[in-house]
Chain A
C-alpha cells in the first residue's frame, strides 16, 4: 500500500468518524464497510492458504518419502520434520500473501469502487459516503442520503446471502485440481513404497556406478544392470577311452554325452567340459568343488566360458563370481552334483576246479582242465597264470615259478571263459609234487590298470593212491588235512549264488552240498579245540538225490527258535515227527562214504544229522570275552551255514557264514585289543633296579592328574556332526517364549556364525570322504553346500532339504554314549523335615 493511499484512507476514516458523530447511520455504514474490508482480507488469506495447502502437502510428502527411502532421514524424526516443514511452508505462504499486491489492494476505497461497479443502484456515488457532509453540495447531500439508504439496503441484503458479492471469488476448480494432485501423488508414493520400486531402481543404479568405475580402471567394458545370469549351459561328458558300451553288441567305445543339466552321472576318469555363456562375459567366473578346489572358467573367443576336468570322485559343485559387488542370478545359488561310478576290478571265477586242492592218485593220469570265467566292466587286457611247482619234501623243497597263458577262450552268455589244460607230466612233475596256480587279470583302466588275483589252487600228485574221486568224476575235495577257509567258503557260496541261473538244479544242489561238507569239516576242525564231540568223518560223501527239490511238498520245514540269544533250528519232515527215536540217535552210526541217491530214508537221515539239535553248540557259558567264547559263537553260525548249504539254500547260509568269519576274526583280535586298551601299564623299571625292591620312586607318581575335554576323546568329524545336528535341531524346534537372557538371541533366520560355518565345513569334509562308499550321501552333501553358500539354515526353494539332511546325518552317528547324572528327587534334602526324618531313620537302624 502506497503512502498516498494510506493517507487517503486515514483521511476517509477521519472524515467518516466526524460524519459519524453527526450521522450515526452513516458512521455505522462506514464501520460496516470497514468490517467488510477486514473480512475480505481474512477470506483472501484463507482461500490462498487452502489453495496452497494441497500442493504443499504433496511436495512435503514426496520429499520426505525420498529422504526416507534413501535412508537420509530416520523414521523417528520423519513426523517432526513433516510438521515443521508444513508449518514453515504455511507461514512463508502467509507472509507472501500479506506482502502481495492483491492483499494490499483490499482497501475501503477499492471496496467502494467495487460496490459502485457491482451495484447499479448506487449510481456510482458510493464514495460520497466518505466525504464530510460539510464539503458536499446540496445535490451531493441529497444523493448521499439516497445512497446511504440504498447502501444500507444492499448491505442488509448481502448480509442475508453472507456477502456473496462482497467476498473474494474462490477458485474452486484450482482447489479441486490441487487436491486431485495431492491424492494422486499420495497414491503414487504408496505404490512405490509398497512395491519397493525405489529399491529396485536403486539396485539398478548403484552397481552401474561401481562397475563403471571398475571398467574405467580395468577394462573398457560396460556391464548390464541386470543380475548376471547363465544364458546357456552345456556339459560334455567324455567317458574314459577304455570304457565300452556294454549295451551294444560289438562293444563300441562309449560315446560323448552332451547335456544341458549340470548334474553329472558318469564313470570315474571321465573328462568333463563345462561350457557356459553368461549375460556378463567380462566377469571372472569360478567353479567351486566341494573338495575345496576352485577353478576359474577360461573365456574363449566366442564369448563362452569353459572349464575342463577329469573327474575321479563324487562331489558337488557350484558356480560363483568372486566380485561381491556383482549381482548374480539364482542360477549361481544352486548346487549340482557329480556322481561317479567307479570302475570295478576284473572278477575271476573258477568254474573248474572248484576246490582249492585237487589230488590225484599215484597211478592216475594227472590232467586237469581249468576253466575260469573272467569278467570286467569294460574289457580285459591281459590274463596270465602264475604257477609254482613244488618238488621234494621237508627241507629239500624246491619251488619253480612259471607264467602260463590260457590255451583258449570262448564267450559263453556274454562272458569270457578261459580254458587251460594242465598236464602234470608235461610240467615235468612227479608223484609227490604240487602245483600251485593263481590267475591275474588286468583290465583296461587308464592310467593305471586294475589287477585282480584269484585265490590259489593246489593240485597235488600224491605219492599214494587215494579214492577221492567218485563215480561221476566229481571230485569231492574233503580232506581232513585241508580245509576250505571260512573266507573261501563265503567266496564259493557267493559264486554259487551267482551261478544259480546258469546251473542245472542237480548240479547246483550238489555244489551246495559240497560247500556244506566243507563247512562241516571246518566246523569240526575248530570244534576239536573247543571240546565238541564229533565221531569222525560221518558227514563225508552224502549227496542229495536229483529229485531232491522236484517236489516242493517233500521239503522239510525249518523252524528257527530264537531263545536265549542263540539260534537253534529244528527241521521237521512233512508228516513225520521230529523226534523219531529210530532215526534220531543214529548219529554215531558209521555212514562213511555212503552215497544215498533218491532214497527218502537217506535224506531223512541227513536231515536228522544236520538239523537235529543234539546239543546246544553255545552251551558253554563264557565268563569273559575270550577267543573261545567267540569261537563257540562262530561254530554256532557254522552249524547254521552248514544246515542251509546242505539244504541247497546258499542264500540263507551266506549271512551265517559271514558272521562266522567275523567272529573268527574277532577271536583272533580279541586278546590283543584287550591288552592294548585296558591292560595295566606299570611304570617303567630299569634292569638295574628291577630286583632291588626299592619303591621310593613310585611314590613320586602317586598322584596323576589329567584333564580331558569331551572333544579330545572323540572323533572330530563326529563331534562336528553332532554340533551341526544340534544346530539344525535348534533351528527346527524354535522356542517361542523370550524368557532367555539377552545373551542368547533366538535363532529364527538360521543365519550362521563363522564358528558354525567352520564345523559345517568339517562335516562336509567328513561326508565327502565317505561319498564313494555311500553315494546316497550326495544329496545331503548338496544341502550342506547350499547351507554354506547361503550361510543360513533357512534355505530358499528347498522345503524338505533340512529334514532330508538331518535324516542322512543321523544315520552317520553311532548310538550315543549315555552321560552320568545324579539322582533326581522332587524334594530338597536339606529341608528340616527330611533331615529330621533321616535322623530318625538312622537312630532306628
Chain B
C-alpha cells in the first residue's frame, strides 16, 4: 500500500498524484473561504440591523451551523466523488482464460470439460475476477454466441483477447500503474484457470517468459515473488487421429508409413475404419477402436509431391443390423460406408502430405577378388538408377578387369594408365617400369577413393590389399568414405595380433565361426516391403557371425528374424565401416521382386555411404504438424558461406556456420517450395513443404495443446493446484465504491445550499 493511501475501516482513499493534491488543497481553501464568507454574512447582517455588535441569537446560530455543516458535507461529497475512493471487498484472486473448445453449444450448460464439473465451472465463472476469452485472430468474437452468452451473464468482466501477448501487455502496463486512472484493474492475478483446449507451446513459453521476467523484477524489489500459477482443465477430446508420425520426405522406393493413435472421448468406444487413400483407391486400411495406435503403409510409384488422404470412418454400432456390419467390413470402398448411415456415421478426412524424391546417386567403387553375381547385380541396379559405378575385379593372378559405368569424368589416373597400356601394347614393348605402372591401375589410391562415396570389398580382397592401399583406405574412411566388407569365412583366419591399420578397421567387429543352428536366417530391416506369400524369399545361409564387442555397442543394420546381426556398422572417423554376412542378395531380385532387392540396398547405402556434402534443406520432423500462419524453423546445410533463399532471412545456427535457419510463416495452406541459391542465382537445393490449414487435424491440434498445457501446468508446484483447483481462495482487494450515493449526497447538499441562498435572498 502506498503512503498516500488513507484507510478508514474498510474504505480507502488514494491521493497519490499531484492532481489529487491540487484538488484537495484547492477544496480545503475554498471550504475555508466559503465558511468564513458565510460567517461574515451572518455577522454583517446583524451589524446592519443593529448598531451595536450583538451576539448571535440561538436561531441564527443554528442556521449558521447548519449552513456550514451542509457546506462541509457538499465539500466532502464533491471531493470523494472526484478522488479515487475504494472499498475493501473479499474477491477471489483468480482470472479465467477460456480457450478454444471451451463451450460448443450455448443452449445447454455443458461446458465440454473433463476435469471440472459444470457446476464448478459456473461457480468459477461467477467468482473469477476477469474472464479472458482467447479468440483466433481472424474471428470476430463479438458475433460468436459464446461471447454473447458470457456478456449477458458476466458483463463487466469479460474481455476478448486475440493473443496471449495482449494479456501480458495489459498486465505489464498494469504494473506501471497507468491504468489506475482508467478505473480498470487489470492486476496480475496470482492464479489463472485455463479452460478448453489449452494453449500451444509457443503461447505457454510466452506466459512463462512473462512470469520469469516478473519474478526477476520483483526479486530485485522485495523478497516476495508473486508468481502466476496456472491450472488447466482440459476439454473433452475430439474424435480423430493424433500423434501422427510420417516422414515428410521419402526416397523413391521407400514406403510411406503413417503411424498414430486414434483419439476419442474416454466414454465412447466406437469402431472405426481407418484407410489410407489416394485418388479414391484404398492403399491400406485398418479397423481400430478405443484409443488404439495404428500404422498404415503405402509406396508411391513415382517421385513428386503427394497428398494422400487418411480417412477415418465410423463403423456402425453392433446394435445395428448385422448385415450392415458385415457389409461394412467386407467392403473396401468408402462409398458404401457412406450409404449406410449418413446421419450417425462420422467421417473425417485428413491430408497426409509428403514428397518423394529420387536419390542423389552416390558414386560406388567395387573391388573384388573375383567377379561375382552379387556385385554384378548390384552394378546393374546402380546403373539402372543412373549412378556412377566402378568395379575392379581380379580375374586371374595379377590380372584385373575394370569396368566403369556412367563415369562423370574419366578417372584421370586410370585413363592415363589405360592410355599408356594401349600404347604399350600397340608398340609391343615390354618395358618393365611401364609394366609396373600398368599393373598398378587396380590399386586403391587416395585419389580414387576420394572420388567415390561407397566402397564394397570382399573379405579376401581386403586381406590381400597392399599396404599402400590399406593406408589409403584407412585415410579415406577417416575422411568420410563408406566401406562395406562382404565377409566370409576367410576373415576368421585373419591374424588380429598384427597391429596395423587393417586390423584397426577389422577390430571394430568381432567375427566368430558360425553356429550351425543359426546358419540359416531370414533378413529383416526397417520398413522392409511386405511380401506376398508367393514371394516369400528363401532364407540366406551365413558362414560367420558378427557379435558385438563388450565395450562397444554395435549398430546393427540388418537383423535376422531371430535377432542375429547380419549387417553391422561402426562409425570410424567421419566415415562408416560396415560388415555384411549376406553375400547372395542378388537372388532376391528374382525370387521376390526387384523392389525388395533395391529397397535393401537403398537402406544400406543410406546408412553407410559417405554423407551428403552438398547444400540441402533439412527435412522436417516426422511428428510435427506444420500449420499455416505459424512460424516454422526451416534449416539448410551448406558447405558454402553465403547462400540465399528467396523470401527468407537465413541466419547461421549457433556453433556452426554450415547450418542456417530461418523462420517461415505460410500465409495460407498448401505446398511451399524453398530454394537455396548461390550468389549467382544458381539453384543449389530445393524442398517442398506442406502447411496445413488451421481446420485440419483438429484432434491432433487439440492433443498438442492439451499435452503442452498439462506439461506447463505440472511445472507449477503441485500444492497450488490442490489449493486453487477445487477451493477458490479469496483475498482482500479494494474496489471502487458505487459513487451514485456520493453523487446523491452532493446533489442534495448543494441543492439545499442553493435553496437556502434563494430563500435568504427573498
Which residues of A come within 8 Å of B, CB atoms? 562, 565-567, 621-625, 629, 659, 670, 673-674, 678, 680, 695-696, 698-710, 713-714, 722, 725-726, 729-730, 733-737, 739-741, 800, 803-804, 806-807, 810, 813-831, 833-835, 838-839, 841-842, 845
Contact = CB atoms under 8 A, between A and B. Distances in A.
B591 interface: yes
Contacts of A629: 538
A810 B672 contact: no
Given A710-B385, A818-B254, 5 more contacts: A565-B533, A702-B418, A733-B304, A736-B671, A828-B613
A541 B410 CA distance: 73
A624 B586 CA distance: 10
Contacts of A826: 618, 637, 659
Contacts of B87: none
8 contacts: A566-B536, A625-B591, A702-B441, A736-B671, A819-B253, A820-B609, A828-B639, A842-B572
B85 to A, nearest CB: 59
Contacts of B563: none
A706 B402 CA distance: 11
B574 A803 contact: no
A739 B647 contact: yes
B281 A810 contact: yes
Interface in B342-383: 358-362, 364, 371, 373, 376-377, 381-383
B251 interface: yes
Interface string B670-695: 11111101000101001010000000
Nearest to A708: B383
Contacts of A820: 359, 361-362, 364, 381-382, 385, 387, 601-602, 605-606, 609
Query: Which 10 A-B residue pairs are closest in the complex by CB-CB distance?
Result: A818-B253, A821-B359, A565-B536, A819-B359, A818-B602, A828-B658, A815-B595, A818-B598, A733-B305, A807-B279
Contacts of B404: 703-706
A674 B584 CA distance: 13
Contact of B659 (A565, A622, A807, A827): A827
Given A713-B384, A826-B637, A725 B302 contact: yes
Contact of A807 (B280, B599, B608, B638): B280
Interface in B408-439: 410, 414-415, 418, 421-422, 425, 438
B280 A803 contact: yes
A15 B302 CA distance: 105
Contact of B605 (A621, A703, A709, A821): A821
Q: Which residue, of A815, A826, A833, has the highest number of chain B Cβ atoms within 10 A?
A: A815
A665 B304 CA distance: 39
Contacts of B18: none
Contacts of B382: 820
A673 B586 CA distance: 13
Contacts of B401: 698, 701-702, 704
Contacts of A845: 504, 572
B593 interface: yes
Contacts of B415: 703
B553 interface: no
Contacts of B226: none
Contacts of A817: 252-253, 381, 384-385, 594-595, 598
Contacts of A828: 613, 637-639, 656, 658-659
Given A622-B538, A708-B405, A818-B598, A831 B611 contact: no
B396 interface: yes
A659 B307 CA distance: 37
Given A623-B541, A706-B405, A834-B574, A678 B586 contact: yes
A624 B584 contact: yes
B622 interface: no
A841 B576 CA distance: 13
B655 interface: yes
Nearest to A817: B598
A156 B321 CA distance: 104
Contact of A562 (B384, B385, B533): B533
A810 B602 contact: no
Nearest to B395: A698
A410 B598 CA distance: 60
B567 to A, nearest CB: 15
Contact of B688 (A704, A735, A741, A823): A735
B538 A822 contact: no
B587 interface: yes
Contacts of A623: 538, 541, 584
B405 A819 contact: no
B145 interface: no
B41 interface: no
A643 B116 CA distance: 64
B431 to A, nearest CB: 14
Contacts of A823: 482, 576, 605-612
Given A815-B595, A821-B362, A823-B611, A838 B252 contact: no
Contacts of A736: 666, 668, 670-672
A729 B400 contact: no
Contacts of A741: 675, 677, 681, 683
B640 to A, nearest CB: 11
Contact of A733 (B377, B587, B671, B675): B671
B453 interface: yes
B371 A680 contact: yes
Contacts of B670: 734-736
A729 B302 contact: yes
Contact of A705 (B407, B482, B608, B655): B407
A828 B253 CA distance: 26
A839 B475 CA distance: 11
B55 interface: no
B675 A739 contact: yes
Given A621-B538, A817-B598, A827-B659, A740 B675 contact: yes
B534 interface: yes
Nearest to B628: A736
Contact of A813 (B302, B602, B610, B638): B302
B672 A835 contact: no
Interface in B641-673: 645-647, 655-656, 658-659, 666, 668, 670-673
A810 B282 CA distance: 12
Nearest to B504: A845
B629 to A, nearest CB: 13
A821 B608 CA distance: 10
Nearest to A802: B279
B520 interface: yes
A698 B398 CA distance: 12
A735 B358 CA distance: 19
A369 to B, nearest CB: 42
B401 to A, nearest CB: 6
B142 to A, nearest CB: 32
Interface in B513-546: 520, 529, 533-534, 536, 538-539, 541
B300 interface: yes
Contacts of B647: 737, 739
Contacts of B601: 818, 820
Contacts of A839: 573
Contacts of A673: 590
Contacts of B441: 702-703
B399 interface: yes
B556 to A, nearest CB: 17
B306 interface: yes
A698 B386 CA distance: 28
Most buried by B among A806, A822, A824: A822
Contact of A625 (B395, B453, B590): B590
Contact of B595 (A702, A818, A829): A818
Contacts of A819: 251-253, 358-359, 361, 385, 598, 602
A702 B606 contact: no
B301 A815 contact: yes
Contact of B305 (A621, A624, A700, A735): A735
